[in-house]
């Protein structure tokens, strides 16, 4: 029965996974725990479907403390970030956060991250768990290669902070009940008593992310979970985090973005500071913009019953005979649509608009329709009535 | 969560003799709990002949897919339509409404070779 499992979240590091500051809370809640990027994290508490719908219909609380926290501080901190990251950091106002990429010289993606601009002299970056050290290296390299940046401090402070997300239509009530402000524009943040509260998230719903000093993590978590339960919500694991982000078509590093793949194969052009004179990877990505990319991401919704999984082949059924044209980078069952959904990387020249694409699910070619993202009708910018 | 009156396979299926020459089987509580929320099930057509250990269907959850193996040789006489339209029945009642397939079997004695509840409990504790 369980001989042929295909877990999407796999052990990536051989050593014992680290336990985050809320580990005991997850154990007490009966969570299933998995090794995720070297951290023992909750994949689900009550089941992916139920937790997914908490977020779409009421509210869910996530522990994403495995994600990193990096501080860039000192004169010209913003200027350093502008060289290290493709985002136009200088254009981000103080008190705003923005999604951006850290590229390598060939235009591949070292990591995708949230960049919080406190001021020109202090920037906080939230990289993915497994990429924090690479982002620190990229920043350090930029600092050490330019005397203008010599005094800037780059600190990996991930161990000092828990990161919690409160996501869903009633997230505002939960935050208010826990004593935090909710009057924030989309992608704005505020620092209160060492806690950073941002109007951001990775689910497509209205919501907030909190960066909390480790010592306060348990009390803040308890307050949020209790408030969420009174709103018919509850804690949500990484399983539903993945189905939620995929319903929005949000890219995930290691799936839609990778160091050895041109960033523009994914729809991330909007994050690039095209007018900036210099940033790492600029030459490669500008060339790719002009010439186009040989592969591109497409969004597929199954019309047949079945679930696409990462690594499955995409087959073009239009034309004289079926031919393999790409591969699924992320696939899942959409709890909202009750259908399989996938992001897939396909050869640009082998797929024309209107072509019929199938996914090979263990030898069966299941029919799909190409859709425009997001798969579901959610918008995190909209404040619920 | 391991009923005493059933037989079990190493692949986490339960088997019950429902009438002379007919067995019903499904997946265990342990199996459904490991898989998580089940969202798709595909089962063989009635009349399909299966050998012991043959893959004869699939149970798929939000996170993974698992083959269903015939616990003993036989011919499919019934398939549970309920789980095809409401796969969550397997999570909710793995030994009841969440059963999968009934087989007519020639050799009932093959059941004796399967694990009893105590042996299956020990099997799950080893995993």
CATH number, domain A295-371: 2.40.30.110
Q: How far apart are CA A289 and CA A269, in angstroms?
A: 8
Q: What is the pTM of this model?
A: 0.93
Q: How far apart are CA B67 and CA A13, in angstroms?
A: 28
> Is the per-residue pLDDT at B116 higher than 90?
yes
Residue B37 phi, psi (nearest 5) = -55, 120
Nearest residue on chain A to B71, alpha-carbon basis:
A1
From residue A294, give the alpha-carbon distance in Å to each of A64, A291, A311, B127.
34, 9, 19, 45
- For the segment(s) A5-67+159-248, the CATH number from 3.30.505.10, 3.40.50.300, 1.10.760.10, 3.30.1360.120 is 3.30.1360.120
Give the one of B39, B62, B65 whose C-beta lies nearest to A4's C-beta.
Answer: B65
- The alpha carbon of residue A3 is apart from the nearest alpha carbon of chain B, in Å, by 7
Residue B26: which of B124, B102, B105, B88 has the closest Cα? Answer: B102
Strand partners, B79: B101
A3 and chain B in contact, CB less than 8 A = yes
Counting beta carbons within 10 angstroms of the beta carbon of residue A3, is it exposed (0 to 12), middle (13 to 18) or buried (19 or more)? exposed
Locate A208 and state its tokens. 């907030």
Q: Could you give the domains of chain B? A: 7-117 (2.40.50.100)
Strand partners, A360: A365
Question: Between chain A and chain B, how many beta carbons pairs sit less than 8 Å apart?
Answer: 72
Q: Establish whether domains A5-67+159-248 and A295-371 are of one fold.
A: no
Locate A254 and state its tokens. 């290691």
Test B68 with A7 for CB contact under 8 angstroms.
Answer: no
Q: Measured at the alpha carbon of residue B63, what is the angle toward residues B34 and A45, in degrees to the nearest 5?
A: 60
| B83 and B89 Cβ atoms separated by less than 8 Å | yes
CA-only gyration radius of chain B, Å: 13
| B23 and B16 Cβ atoms separated by less than 8 Å | yes
Q: Digits of tens for pLDDT over chain A (385 positions)?
A: 554 333 444 444 457 899 999 999 999 999 999 999 899 999 999 999 999 999 999 999 999 999 999 999 999 999 999 999 999 999 999 999 999 999 999 999 999 999 999 999 999 999 999 999 999 999 999 999 999 999 999 999 999 999 999 999 999 999 999 999 999 999 999 999 899 999 999 999 999 999 999 999 999 999 999 999 999 999 999 999 999 999 999 999 999 999 999 999 999 999 999 999 999 999 999 999 999 999 999 999 999 999 999 999 999 999 899 999 999 999 999 999 999 999 999 999 999 999 999 999 999 999 999 999 999 999 999 999 8
Q: Mean pLDDT, to the nearest integer, of B29-35?
A: 95
B69 and chain A in contact, CB less than 8 A = yes
Test B62 with A306 for CB contact under 8 angstroms.
Answer: no
CATH number, domain A70-156: 3.30.70.1400
Counting beta carbons within 10 angstroms of the beta carbon of residue B93, is it exposed (0 to 12), middle (13 to 18) or buried (19 or more)? middle
* pLDDT confidence band for B63 (50 / 70 / 90): confident
A21-60 in b/e burial notation, b at 16+ Cβ within 10 A?
A: bbbebbeeeebbbbbbbbbbbbbbbbbbbbbbbbbbebbb
From residue A359, give the alpha-carbon distance in Å to each of A315, A343, B67.
6, 11, 19
Q: Which pLDDT score, from 0 to 100, does residue A385 have?
A: 85
Q: Which pLDDT score, from 0 to 100, does residue A1 have?
A: 52
Nearest residue on chain B to A304, alpha-carbon basis:
B40
- The alpha carbon of residue B37 is apart from the nearest alpha carbon of chain A, in Å, by 6
CA dihedral B56, B57, B58, B59 (to 10 degrees): -110
Residue A186: which of A200, A171, A167, A172 has the closest Cα? Answer: A200
- The alpha carbon of residue A266 is apart from the nearest alpha carbon of chain B, in Å, by 24
Test B36 with A239 for CB contact under 8 angstroms.
Answer: yes
Q: Which residues of A touch B11 (CB under 8 A)?
A: 1-3
Query: How many CB atoms neighbour CB B119 within 10 A?
Result: 12
Nearest residue on chain B to A337, alpha-carbon basis:
B39
User: Domain limits of chain A?
Assistant: 5-67+159-248, 70-156, 295-371
* Window B:15-54, CB contacts with A under 8 Å: 27-28, 31, 34-37, 39-40, 42
Locate A197 and state its tokens. 């509260």
B70 and chain A in contact, CB less than 8 A = no
């Amino acid at each position: 029965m369980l001989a042929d499992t295909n877990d999407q979240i796999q052990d990536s590091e051989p050593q014992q996974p680290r336990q985050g500051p809320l580990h005991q809370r997850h154990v007490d809640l009966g969570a299933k725990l998995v090794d995720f990027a070297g951290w023992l994290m909750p994949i689900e508490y009550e089941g992916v479907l139920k937790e997914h719908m908490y977020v779409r219909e009421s509210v869910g609380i996530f522990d994403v403390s495995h994600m990193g926290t990096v501080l860039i501080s000192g004169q010209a901190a913003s200027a350093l970030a502008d060289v290290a990251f493709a985002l136009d950091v200088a254009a981000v106002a103080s008190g705003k956060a923005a999604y951006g990429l850290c590229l390598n010289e060939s235009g591949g993606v070292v990591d995708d991250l949230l960049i919080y601009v406190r001021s020109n002299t202090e920037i906080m970056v939230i990289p993915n768990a497994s990429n924090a050290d690479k982002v620190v290296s990229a920043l350090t390299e930029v600092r050490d290669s330019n005397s203008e940046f010599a005094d800037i401090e780059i600190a990996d402070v991930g161990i000092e902070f828990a990161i919690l997300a409160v996501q869903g239509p009633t997230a505002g009530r939960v935050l208010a009940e826990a004593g935090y402000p909710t009057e924030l524009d989309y992608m704005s943040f505020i620092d209160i008593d060492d806690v950073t509260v941002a109007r951001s998230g990775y689910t497509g719903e209205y919501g907030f992310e909190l960066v909390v000093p480790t010592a306060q993590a348990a009390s803040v978590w308890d307050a949020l979970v209790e408030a969420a339960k009174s709103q018919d919500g509850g804690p949500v694991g990484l399983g539903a985090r993945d189905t939620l982000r995929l319903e929005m078509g949000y890219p995930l590093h290691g799936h839609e973005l990778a160091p050895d793949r041109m960033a523009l194969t994914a729809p991330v052009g909007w994050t690039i500071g095209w007018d900036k004179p210099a940033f790492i990877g600029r030459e490669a990505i500008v060339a790719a913009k002009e010439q186009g990319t040989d592969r591109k991401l497409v969004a597929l919704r199954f019309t047949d019953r079945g679930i696409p999984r990462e690594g499955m082949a995409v087959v073009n059924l239009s034309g004289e005979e079926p031919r393999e044209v790409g591969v699924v980078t992320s696939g899942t069952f959409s709890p909202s649509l009750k259908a399989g959904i996938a992001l897939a990387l396909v050869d640009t020249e082998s797929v024309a608009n209107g072509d019929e694409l199938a996914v090979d699910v263990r030898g069966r070619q299941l029919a799909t329709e190409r859709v425009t993202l997001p798969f579901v009708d959610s918008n995190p910018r909209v404040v619920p009535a | 969560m391991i009923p005493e009156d059933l037989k079990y396979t190493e692949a986490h299926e339960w088997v019950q003799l429902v009438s002379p020459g007919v067995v019903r089987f499904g997946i265990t509580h342990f199996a459904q709990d490991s898989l998580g929320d089940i969202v798709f099930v595909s089962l063989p057509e009635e009349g399909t002949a299966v050998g012991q250990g043959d893959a004869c269907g699939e149970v798929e959850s939000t996170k993974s897919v698992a083959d269903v193996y015939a616990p003993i040789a036989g011919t499919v006489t019934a398939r549970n339509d309920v789980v095809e339209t409401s796969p969550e029945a397997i999570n909710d009642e793995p030994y009841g409404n969440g059963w999968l397939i009934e087989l007519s079997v020639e050799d009932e004695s093959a059941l004796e070779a399967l694990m009893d509840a105590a042996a299956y409990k020990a099997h799950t504790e080893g995993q």
